[in-house]
């Protein structure tokens, strides 16, 4: 059949309607938009975990988080079993909730109030940052993230020294026995060190954010750090519901097309 003149909207007698117009272009757009909107809603619902916001001094494990230490950089992870709601204070303006073990200490915590205060005579800790100090015999204080599901994750982390005499510690991000990234944490509130990593984790797989003594002992090694983990939207595996919804939308397009052909 030879192509005829396309309908212009004014002279429609004997003309050929454009295909998309013929199946109801607005209906097509509506079906596609609905499918994409519903599919994207599952991506937007991907969870984000903020270690400071989520911190608990009563639960360990605490959801996706655990507080503990490694006996060495590649040593086994040991979960802390003792939490202190009130830590040592010297200036009287700081309370800290923290997990630690009597030996090697290796504490992980956060201040209970707002603003900044001193923990001990020289460690300044502020709301919004977690606090850690390495163990006394080379142990690493560890914040552990355990993947709640098999997915791609983005790890955002930053460390800074918070001892006014100048911290000399080091951080490492580990996936089991694999060091993903490490670096020195030195000085007092010098520019943050850290970064962003993208990883694929199986459900139950752990990432450790570890703080060590920098190789020169654990004196004055108080450090502040931030960790936020989020499921990556780009690499996220579509949820079955999303696939179903997209399929439903495409089915709707197909149904419109078939209806027109009859």
192 CB burial (10 A radius; 0-12, 13-18, 19+): middle
Shortest reach from residue 222's CB to Ca ion, in Å: 10
Nearer to Ca ion, 109 or 214 (CB): 214
The answer to whether 173 touches 157, Cβ cutoff 8 Å, is yes
Shortest reach from residue 186's CB to Ca ion, in Å: 9
Shortest reach from residue 146's CB to Ca ion, in Å: 28
Nearer to Ca ion, 101 or 167 (CB): 167
Give the Cβ contact number of residue 215 at 10 Å.
10
Element (H, E) at 28: helix 25-44
Stretch that binds Ca ion, among 21-29, 37-45, 110-118, 208-216 (CB under 5 A): 208-216
Each residue 126-165 as x (binds Ca ion by CB under 5 A) or -, in order, gives ----------------------------------------
Residue 9 per-residue DSSP state: S
Give the Cβ contact number of residue 68 at 10 Å.
25
Among 170, 208, 221, 226, binds Ca ion (CB under 5 A): 221
Among 168, 222, 223, 242, binds Ca ion (CB under 5 A): 168
CA dist 262 and 260 (Å) reads 6
Pairing of strands 178-187, 48-50: unpaired
194 binds Ca ion (CB under 5 A): no
The answer to whether 159 touches 171, Cβ cutoff 8 Å, is yes
59 binds Ca ion (CB under 5 A): no
Q: Please tell me the total number of residues recorded for the chain in this structure.
A: 262
Nearer to Ca ion, 55 or 131 (CB): 131
216 binds Ca ion (CB under 5 A): yes
226 binds Ca ion (CB under 5 A): no
Binding site for Ca ion (CB under 5 A): 168, 213-214, 216, 221
């Amino acid at each position: 059949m030879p192509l005829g003149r396309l309908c212009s909207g004014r002279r429609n007698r004997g003309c050929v309607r454009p295909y998309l117009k013929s199946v109801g272009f607005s209906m097509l757009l509506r079906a596609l938009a609905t499918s994409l909107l519903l599919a994207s809603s599952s991506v937007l619902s991907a969870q984000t975990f903020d270690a400071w916001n989520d911190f608990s001094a009563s639960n360990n494990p605490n959801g996706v988080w655990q507080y503990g230490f490694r006996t060495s950089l590649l040593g086994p992870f040991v979960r802390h079993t003792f939490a202190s709601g009130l830590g040592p204070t010297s200036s009287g303006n700081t309370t800290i909730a923290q997990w630690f073990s009597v030996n090697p200490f290796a504490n992980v915590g956060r201040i209970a109030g707002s603003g900044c205060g001193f923990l001990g005579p020289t460690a300044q800790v502020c709301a919004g940052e977690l606090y850690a100090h390495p163990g006394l015999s080379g142990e690493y204080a560890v914040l552990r993230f355990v993947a709640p599901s098999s997915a791609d994750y983005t790890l955002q982390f930053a460390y800074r020294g918070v001892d006014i005499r100048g911290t000399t510690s080091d951080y490492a991000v580990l996936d089991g026995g694999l060091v993903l990234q490490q670096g020195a944490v030195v000085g007092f509130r010098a520019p943050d060190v850290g970064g962003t990593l993208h990883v694929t984790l199986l459900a139950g797989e752990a990432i450790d954010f570890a703080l060590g003594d920098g190789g020169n002992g654990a004196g004055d090694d108080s450090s502040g750090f931030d960790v936020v983990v989020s499921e990556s939207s780009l690499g996220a595996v579509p949820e079955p519901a999303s696939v179903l919804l997209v399929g439903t939308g495409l089915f709707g397009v197909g149904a419109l097309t078939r209806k027109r052909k009859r």
